[in-house]
């Protein structure tokens, strides 16, 4: 695995942005001139198979990526209007995983994500720049 400019930029972007982020957003975050969107796809795919990032399909079916390394137990609430993520520190999941172990499952992991309208967007409904909702279902 070689170290290249796009890869560094992608990792930096993932580090900076804590919480799951879409490929599109990563591309914009690092600057679209740094590399092609396809490269972002390929890099994340590579990172994933190395276990460096985690992929999750949240809510709307588009996939989001997140650094695996050193992520402590915390979650996020994503604003459905502006897309901003906020941290949710505590979530009682240990008992659930224990229960599933008792059922015979191994290598248990989970995805938890909250969605809502943040206080800011409630005050300024116009600030809803980035639609988070569906893929093409976004008309809903």
Partner DNA sequence: TTGAGTGCAAAGGATTTGCAGGTTC
Partner DNA sequence: GAACCTGCAAATCCTTTGCACTCAA
- Interface residue list for DNA (CB under 7 A): 1-7, 22-24, 34-39, 41-43, 45-46, 61-63, 134-139
Closest CB to DNA among 43 and 79? 43
CB of 36 vs DNA, minimal distance in Å: 3
Please name the residue that has the structure tokens 């276990």: 51
| CA nearest to 91, candidates 114, 78, 74, 79 | 74
Give the list of residues 6+ apart from residue 127 with CB closer than 8 angstroms, or none.
81, 82, 120, 121
CB of 60 vs DNA, minimal distance in Å: 9
In the list 8, 37, 50, 108, the residue contacting a copy of itself (rule: CB under 8 A) is 108
Give the list of residues 6+ apart from residue 21 with CB closer than 8 angstroms, or none.
13, 14, 29, 64, 65, 66
Q: Kindly state the number of chain residues that form the binding site for a copy of itself, as judged by CB under 8 A.
A: 40
Closest CB to DNA among 10 and 121? 10
- Which residues from 18-47 bind a copy of itself, rule CB under 8 A? 45
In the list 17, 25, 42, 59, the residue contacting a copy of itself (rule: CB under 8 A) is 59
CB of 31 vs a copy of itself, minimal distance in Å: 27
Alpha-carbon torsion (115, 120, 123, 128), positive or negative: negative
- CA atoms of 55 and 68, how far apart (whole Å): 9
């Amino acid at each position: 695995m070689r170290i290249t400019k796009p890869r560094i930029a992608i990792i930096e972007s993932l580090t900076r942005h804590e919480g799951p982020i879409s490929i599109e957003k990563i591309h914009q975050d690092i600057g679209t001139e740094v590399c092609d969107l396809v490269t972002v796809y390929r890099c994340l795919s590579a990172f994933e198979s190395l276990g460096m990032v985690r992929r999750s399909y949240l809510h709307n079916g588009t996939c989001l990526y997140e650094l695996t390394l050193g992520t402590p137990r915390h979650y996020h609430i994503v604003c459905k209007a502006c897309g901003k993520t906020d941290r949710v520190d505590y979530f009682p999941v240990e008992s659930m995983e224990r229960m599933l172990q008792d059922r015979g499952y191994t290598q248990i992991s989970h995805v938890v994500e909250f969605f809502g309208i943040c206080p800011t967007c409630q005050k300024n409904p116009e600030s809803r720049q980035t639609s988070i909702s569906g893929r093409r279902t976004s008309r809903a």
